[in-house]
Amino acid sequence: MALSPRLDIRQGQGLVITPQLQQAIKLLQLSNIELEAFVEAELERNPLLQRDDSDREVERDGEPDRAVENLGMESVSDASANREMDAPGDDVSPGERATGDGEGFSAEHAGGQIDWSRAGGGGSFEGDDNFEGALNRPETLAEHLNGQLLLAGLSSADEAIAAILIDAVDAAGYLRADLWEIAERLGCGFDRVEAVLKVVQGFEPCGVAARDVRECLELQLRDANRYDPAIAALLDNLDLLARRDLAALRKICGVDDEDLREMIAEVRGLTPRPGAAFHSDPPQTLVPDVHVREGLGGMWHVELNTDTLPRVLVDQRYHARVSKGARSDQEKTFVSDSFASANWLVKSLDQRAKTILKVASEIVRQQDGFLAYGVEHLRPLNLKTVADAIGMHESTVSRVTSNKYVSTPRGVFELKFFFTSAIQSSEGGEAHSAASVRHKIKGLVDAEKTEGDVHSDDRIVEILKAAGVDIARRTVAKYREAMRIPSSVERRRLIKETA
């Protein structure tokens, strides 16, 4: 049989991951803070994108019997429709206002004028209030240590080593860097870096720049001239102190009961976080992406938090202007690509909002018992159950629930909180969630008041099985350890000592 070239036409289906699709997938898993940063970068890059700062009242249907899944969806659709309309006169970009009719396309026209009214005030000393605020700002731990470094009288090389060590001290006052790595990076000996560290550890607050808790406590005891072999042995066995194994500590330290009590009191009087007294950057406020509130008739209303949704639109009028003024192929390609990218971003943001609302509504429908009655009524739930219910893939649900938070009458939770493993019922009924079982175990331990009330893991298994929870002893032990609950022997010892 002779071989010869031949052309065939075949029809098939396949999924092509385009850059636009990759962007849409990426937007799904971004948190609201990351999304805001991404949109800000797109606004700076794309001259056809415009921030929609108009105050739009979201219209909602007031019927109390509406389904949870449908509530709030109309507002998302309305927002999408508004974005596809031409920009009103007040929303025309600054670049369009700055140019007159008939002017050709240029880089200046594409970028528009800079709106300095939106510039942040960080680092500016304009005005008396800002200047006074900068002077009155609380001192940070790094500033406090660097101030002492200037008075330490070190050589320039040792001062540079000390500055790097101070930069590696975290907000709690602990050194979070490897001395060997610093020595190799700076091209000096390990002994020299360690010697400079000893100098930094002599700074205030006492115990700063320690590499672990034991070293932190040792530095404070040495400063108070209270460090001796007995208390050194105590610091070497802090795990026994945590377990309240006083008999073993007495034997290791070689002291009697009275001396041991005094040593324990000294250790408890020390500061395990020497840097906590200093100012640090405030933590970012957690802003929920979805609000859940109880309505009439026991219905749960799910609404998107519009404050976390970036409002952007495509400036159609500006696009028409610059399209007419484009002369070269490069300019036309830039306008075309910018227009396509802007449209795709607006549609992706709209689809992201709809998907979050759809997933959150299904989670609320599945976990309405938790919202109404508490954690004991948290049902077992996995990604597949939600994905099948809303007709999406599990990976999509996983991306949507990452870094997304919901505000409920019981507090603010990450959406992944509602996905719990199932524990079968001993009576063949509905399965129990792992979170509700952990709550039951904690309740049994909290109810222990005397030595006779303390339950062993086997006894907890019997109690839970009587309540309809089929669970193994090793699972009880795993949940107890995860909640940092001591064993029954340690709990009995603790109750005896505190009695």
Q: What are 299-351's pLDDT values in tens digits?
A: 899 999 988 888 888 888 888 888 888 788 888 898 889 899 899 999 999 99
In the chain, CATH 1.10.10.1330 covers: 141-269
**Predicted pLDDT at 403:** 86
CA distance 486 to 259: 26
What is the structure's pLDDT at 137? 65
Average pLDDT (192-217) is 91
Mean residue pLDDT across the chain: 77
CB 199 within 8 A of CB 175: no
Fold of 432-498: Arc Repressor Mutant, subunit A (1.10.10)
CATH superfamily of 141-269: RNA polymerase sigma-54 factor, core-binding domain (1.10.10.1330)
Sign of CA dihedral 228, 229, 232, 234: negative
In the chain, the amino acid numbered 396 is T
Rounded to two decimals, the pTM is: 0.51
**Residue 62, pLDDT above cutoff 70:** no
Amino acid at 52: D
Confidence label for 279 from pLDDT (cuts 50, 70 and 90)? low
Asked whether residue 361 carries a pLDDT value surpassing 60, the answer given is yes
